[in-house]
């Protein structure tokens, strides 16, 4: 199992190294990986059909509770089969599709990485491991969406996708940590057993919010849906893979996975129903206005994801069965439609549905694949889609109080989806073929076979639902719902309400398709409302934040060291004085102040004089030298209070600092008029208040009764453990040697910084 | 600042100061001192030399760029930290020879760690000082 998950990463690395060796159809070899994984996962079906689950455990970071536990139950198996099965077809298809592209090896590297991350995501039983894979899918899909990285649009939409899904990832991480710390384990199986603890936790709503935030952004739910149409800038095989079977379904998977943990709760159900419901209607409605094939498919994908979330929200057994079946239905027909679209785009060079027609005459097998996918998506009887649609209606009807409203929503959505499916899958192939497409020819077998296979599979499952009932669907529902499943999948349920609803859907969809022709005019109709759409508002907020950050940076980090210091000191003064005057009783215990000796008086006098000199001198050199005198005086104070180590270090450092300043200042032009009076007064006030504050704090510190435990520990043990009598040094090199090690590394970085800044100057010409 | 007195003195002072810095380094484990201070004292010795004789002379005297000290010192410190792991002890465990050595005293992994610190400090300070003074002179 470990090998199965990680093999994708290994292959990704190998493909990247193999570089240009992969050309043309040689990349077909790579599809051996998903195919063999697919067969491997198929072999688990009998075991899971009997009601067992499979668990593999590998320790990873035990001290943090991170385990690579793989838990294979019905839900993960369904997803594994989708990922590897559709993955196989995508790999084959892509080998032909990407033939003419540069950097095919990178493409396959990202694709294998993505597949492996998805597998890891759906198999992980440990939420922290799951999160790692989750982010890996975000990152690898970022590369995939932005694959045509010389296209600015591509880059923009991949960044948008990463920003949204990555941002959601943070919420998810927080949610996982919250859940994990509530029950003291990060394992999903243990979360299921401690379900009641989580459900009764006072932070339940927060967990819900965070988890939903992660899942909704990933699954493009309203109002985070807008990154998905943009993600269509990716090469079509990627869109087919990401948006039919994998990436966006990860959110649905997560919600399904956590249904036994957080689900069956009124808040959970309502959140999912409302968000899913809005998404499905909103996105299906939007698909009516589009003319680009991939954009239409993108919106129907969002809508389908909405349906899935909606069904999970309803949460009854019928709804869960419907969700399980619909995941499979949607993956099959949507991948088919995407692949068909890819072929059309590849061969004709356009995806504008208003231009395309009559293509069946030149590419019959593709037409068949497209039409089969479209009728499956429409839910015409004896296709798999029909089954899915029936189950959706059964699910909504079982939903309790609001069932009429919810069913109506589902019907409306499905009518619009039928329209969109027909436009994408049938419209390009019917009618007369325009003259510019006469010499379009059929692409290679490797391209049209995968969508055709998917279509055939849809038909087979439609005719013989028993094939997947016990083997696939029931284990999923068991994983979601716990109990046994008592509703077998059938084609024919008799004449009942569900059939009537199906008929309404079909008739409505046909009418819609007949009377509404896609046209580019209508897109303007929606565009008028653009300013109110989330796609406009959320990036707008992002732009606002960006502008704020720019202004803030310009004010606070303007490049003048003096301003930085001023800001830091002022901030400290405000913060500390607030604390001092609100929370601390200031009183000075005079008994703690020792008698002042003659040396102390002398040293203080020198210091005062030196400070006076520093402030009021007109020569930089004198100021630096006077500062040095202050340093040496402090050094002497260290000696008086028996801290020879500190004194030595202070002495040497001070010497070197003065030398450094002198070296630099010696060469500066002698400006005598450095600042004007207001600035001086301001600086003086800041300095005075900061100094006063520090003095008060120092006096307060004396009053605190110090705990001497640490001092005693070091004094006692420095010789015992480290054979040293100088406690300071023993701490430096032994007890806290690690700190010192890091510190000298920091010093190194500082030296490199100074060296590179001053020595490796960019010449004036290069700068321009 | 090319005075004859300083020039002459610095030629004698350099070895004495260097010796002193090593002394400070070695005594660190029992009395005030240690790698950090030792390294700073050594740097001061070189800076003094540079003041008296000019930076170029010091460079000639050093032969190598002082920055080379940095990786050397870091490596020594790291190795002394890793050494205990060879005999199955955790990272940075102090290992000591049983008997004291003449002149130097007790020798243990902490001493080598300190020597590493010393070398790094010399490297860092001299690199920073030399770089700044060179660019200031340009």
CA dihedral in degrees (A84, A36, A377, A525; nearest 10)? 40
Helix ranges, A426-496 (H): 445-463, 466-468, 474-481
| Cβ pair A44, A54 in contact under 8 A | yes
d(CA A718, CA B108) in angstroms, rounded, equals: 14
d(CA A509, CA A521) in angstroms, rounded, equals: 21
Tokens of A607: 């210091």
Tokens of A416: 């619009």
SS3 at position B96: strand
Which residues, listed in sequence order, are joined to residue A55 by a DSSP beta bridge?
A71
By C-alpha distance, which of A275, A267, A226, A1 is closest to A120? A1
Nearest by CB to residue A737, choosing from B43, B113, B125, is B113
For A72, the enclosing helix (H) or strand (E) is strand A66-72
pLDDT in tens, B47-76: 888 888 888 888 888 888 888 889 999 999
CB contact under 8 A, A733 and B43: no
Residue-level length of chain A: 768
Place of tokens 């202050």: A630
Dihedrals phi, psi of A69, to nearest 5 degrees: -95, 125
Gap from A620 CA to chain B (nearest CA, Å): 15
Tokens of A726: 């100088």
Residue A399 confidence (pLDDT) above 80: no
Non-local CB neighbours of A134 within 8 Å, separated by 6+ positions: A117, A121, A169, A172, A214, A218, A250, A254
With the C-alpha atoms ordered A733, A739, A745, A747, is the resulting torsion angle positive or negative? negative
d(CA A305, CA A280) in angstroms, rounded, equals: 7
Residues in A closer than 8 angstroms to B112, CB to CB, are none
CB contact under 8 A, A723 and B127: no
A758 to chain B, any CB pair closer than 8 A? The answer is: yes
d(CA A134, CA A129) in angstroms, rounded, equals: 8
By C-alpha distance, which of A225, A290, A303, A297 is closest to A534? A225
In A132-191, the residues whose Cβ lies within 8 Å of chain B are none
Non-local CB neighbours of A187 within 8 Å, separated by 6+ positions: A67, A69, A125, A126, A127
pLDDT in tens, A153-193: 888 888 888 888 888 889 999 999 998 888 888 888 888 88
User: To the nearest 5 percent, what fractions of chain B are helix, strand and coil?
Assistant: 75, 5, 25
Residue B1 confidence (pLDDT) above 60: no
Q: How much is the pLDDT for A610?
A: 92
A99-113, A716-730, A737-751, range with the lowest pLDDT: A716-730
By C-alpha distance, which of A379, A364, A367 is closest to A300? A379
A358 to chain B, any CB pair closer than 8 A? The answer is: no
Gap from A569 CA to chain B (nearest CA, Å): 27
A730 to chain B, any CB pair closer than 8 A? The answer is: yes
Mean pLDDT across chain B = 82
Cβ atoms within 10 Å, residue A311:
32
d(CA A444, CA A97) in angstroms, rounded, equals: 9
Non-local CB neighbours of A683 within 8 Å, separated by 6+ positions: A566, A675
Q: How many helices (H) and strands (E) does chain B have?
A: 5, 0
Residue-level length of chain B: 138
Gap from B107 CA to chain A (nearest CA, Å): 10
pLDDT in tens, A450-496: 888 888 888 888 888 777 777 788 888 888 876 666 666 666 666 67
Non-local CB neighbours of A204 within 8 Å, separated by 6+ positions: A198, A262, A265, A267
Non-local CB neighbours of A529 within 8 Å, separated by 6+ positions: none
Helix ranges, A288-316 (H): 293-314
Q: How much is the pLDDT for A609?
A: 92
pLDDT in tens, A50-86: 777 888 887 777 777 777 888 888 888 889 998 998 8
In A274-333, the residues whose Cβ lies within 8 Å of chain B are none
pLDDT in tens, A594-618: 777 888 889 989 999 999 888 888 7
Which residues, listed in sequence order, are joined to residue A66 by a DSSP beta bridge?
A61
| Cβ pair A426, A412 in contact under 8 A | no
* The model scores a pTM over 0.80: no
Q: How much is the pLDDT for A20?
A: 65
Residue A6 confidence (pLDDT) above 50: yes
Which residues, listed in sequence order, are joined to residue A444 by a DSSP beta bridge?
none
Residues in A closer than 8 angstroms to B104, CB to CB, are none
d(CA A268, CA A310) in angstroms, rounded, equals: 11
Tokens of A556: 């606070």
Residues in A closer than 8 angstroms to B101, CB to CB, are none
CB contact under 8 A, B110 and A751: no
By C-alpha distance, which of A184, A329, A195 is closest to A259? A195
pLDDT band at A649 (very low <50, low <70, confident <90, very high): confident
Residue A767 confidence (pLDDT) above 50: no
Which residues, listed in sequence order, are joined to residue A56 by a DSSP beta bridge?
A70
Mean pLDDT across chain A = 82
SS3 at position A584: coil
Q: How much is the pLDDT for A607?
A: 92
Place of tokens 């309502």: A270
Cβ atoms within 10 Å, residue B20:
16
Which residues, listed in sequence order, are joined to residue A54 by a DSSP beta bridge?
A72
Residue A639 confidence (pLDDT) above 50: yes
Q: How much is the pLDDT for A632?
A: 92
| Cβ pair A513, A418 in contact under 8 A | yes
By C-alpha distance, which of A129, A108, A132 is closest to A20? A108
Dihedrals phi, psi of A352, to nearest 5 degrees: -80, 115
The number of CA neighbours under 13 Å toward the Cβ of A483 is 7
């Amino acid at each position: 199992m470990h090998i199965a998950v990680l093999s994708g990463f290994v292959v990704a690395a190998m493909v990247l190294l193999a570089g240009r060796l992969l050309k043309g159809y040689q990349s077909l070899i790579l599809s051996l990986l998903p195919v063999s994984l697919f067969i491997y996962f198929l072999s688990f079906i009998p075991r899971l059909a009997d009601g067992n689950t499979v668990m593999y455990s590998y320790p990873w970071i035990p001290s943090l509770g991170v385990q690579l536990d793989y838990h294979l139950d019905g839900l993960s198996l369904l997803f594994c089969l989708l990922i590897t099965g559709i993955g196989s077809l995508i790999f084959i298809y892509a080998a032909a599709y990407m033939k003419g592209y540069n950097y095919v090896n990178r493409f396959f590297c990202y694709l294998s990485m993505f597949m492996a991350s998805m597998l890891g995501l759906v198999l992980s039983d440990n939420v922290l491991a799951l999160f790692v894979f989750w982010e890996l899918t975000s990152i690898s899909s970022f590369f995939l969406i932005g694959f045509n990285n010389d296209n600015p649009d591509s880059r923009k939409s991949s960044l948008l996708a990463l920003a949204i899904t990555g941002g959601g990832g943070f919420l998810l991480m927080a949610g996982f940590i919250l859940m994990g710390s509530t029950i003291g384990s990060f394992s999903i199986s243990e979360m299921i057993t401690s379900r009641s603890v989580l459900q009764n936790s006072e932070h339940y709503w927060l967990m819900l919010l965070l988890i939903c935030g992660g899942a909704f952004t990933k699954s493009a739910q309203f109002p985070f849906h807008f990154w998905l149409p943009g993600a269509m800038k990716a090469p079509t095989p990627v869109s087919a893979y990401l948006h039919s079977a994998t990436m966006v379904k990860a959110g649905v998977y997560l919600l399904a996975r956590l249904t036994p943990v957080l689900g069956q709760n009124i808040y959970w159900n309502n959140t999912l129903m409302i968000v899913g419901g809005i998404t499905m209607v909103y996105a299906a409605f939007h698909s009516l206005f589009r003319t680009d094939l991939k954009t239409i498919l993108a919106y129907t994908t969002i809508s389908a994801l909405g349906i899935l979330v909606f069904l999970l929200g309803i949460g009854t057994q019928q709804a869960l069965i419907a969700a399980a079946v619909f995941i499979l239905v949607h993956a099959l027909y949507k991948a088919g439609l995407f692949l068909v679209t890819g072929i059309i785009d590849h061969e004709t060079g356009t995806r504008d549905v208003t231009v395309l027609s009559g293509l069946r005459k030149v590419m019959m097998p593709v037409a068949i694949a497209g039409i089969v996918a479209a009728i499956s998506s429409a839910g015409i009887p004896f296709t798999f889609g029909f089954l899915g649609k029936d189950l959706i209606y059964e699910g909504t009807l079982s939903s309790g109080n609001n069932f009429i409203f919810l069913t109506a929503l589902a019907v409306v959505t499905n009518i619009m989806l039928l329209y969109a499916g027909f436009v994408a899958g049938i419209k390009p192939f019917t009618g007369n073929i325009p003259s510019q497409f006469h010499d379009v020819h059929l692409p290679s077998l490797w391209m049209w076979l995968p969508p055709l296979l998917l279509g055939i599979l849809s038909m087979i499952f439609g005719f013989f639902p028993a094939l997947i009932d016990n083997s696939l669907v029931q284990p999923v529902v068991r994983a979601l719902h716990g109990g046994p499943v008592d509703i077998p999948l059938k084609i024919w349920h008799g004449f009942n309400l569900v059939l009537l609803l199906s008929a309404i859907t079909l008739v409505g969809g046909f009418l819609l398709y007949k009377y509404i022709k896609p046209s580019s005019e209508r897109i303007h109709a929606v565009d008028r409302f653009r300013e109110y759409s989330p796609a406009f508002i959320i990036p707008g907020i992002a732009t606002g934040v960006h502008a704020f950050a720019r202004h803030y940076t310009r004010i606070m980090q303007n490049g003048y060291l003096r301003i930085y210091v001023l800001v830091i000191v002022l901030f400290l003064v405000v913060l500390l004085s607030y604390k001092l005057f609100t929370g601390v009783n200031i009183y000075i215990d005079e008994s703690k102040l020792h008698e002042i000796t003659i040396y102390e008086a002398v040293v203080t006098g020198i210091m005062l004089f030196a400070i006076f000199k520093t402030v009021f001198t007109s020569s930089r050199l004198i100021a630096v030298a006077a500062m040095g005198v202050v340093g040496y005086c402090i050094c002497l104070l260290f000696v008086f209070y028996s801290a020879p180590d500190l004194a030595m270090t202070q002495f040497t450092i001070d010497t070197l600092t003065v030398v450094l300043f002198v070296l630099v200042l010696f060469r500066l032009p002698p400006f005598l008029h450095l600042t004007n009076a207001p600035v001086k007064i301001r600086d003086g006030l800041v300095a005075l208040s900061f100094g006063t504050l520090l003095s008060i704090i120092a006096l307060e510190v004396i009053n605190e009764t110090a705990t001497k435990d640490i001092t005693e520990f070091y004094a006692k043990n420095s010789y015992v453990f480290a054979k040293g009598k100088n406690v300071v040094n023993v701490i430096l090199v032994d007890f806290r040697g690690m700190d010192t090690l890091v510190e000298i590394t920091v010093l190194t970085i500082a030296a490199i910084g100074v060296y590179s800044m001053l020595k490796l100057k960019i010449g004036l010409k290069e700068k321009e | 600042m090319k005075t004859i007195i300083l020039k002459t003195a610095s030629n004698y002072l350099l070895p004495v100061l260097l010796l002193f810095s090593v002394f400070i380094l070695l005594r660190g484990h029992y009395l005030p001192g240690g790698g950090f201070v030792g390294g700073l004292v050594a740097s001061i010795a070189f800076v003094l030399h540079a003041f008296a004789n000019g930076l170029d002379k010091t460079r000639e005297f050093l032969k190598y760029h002082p920055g080379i000290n940095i990786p050397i010192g870091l490596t020594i410190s790291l190795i002394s930290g890793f050494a205990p792991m060879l005999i199955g002890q955790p990272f940075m465990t102090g290992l000591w020879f049983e008997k004291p050595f003449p002149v130097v005293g007790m020798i243990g992994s902490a001493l080598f760690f300190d020597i590493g610190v010393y070398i790094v400090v010399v490297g860092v300070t001299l690199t920073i000082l030399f770089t700044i003074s060179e660019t200031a002179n340009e």
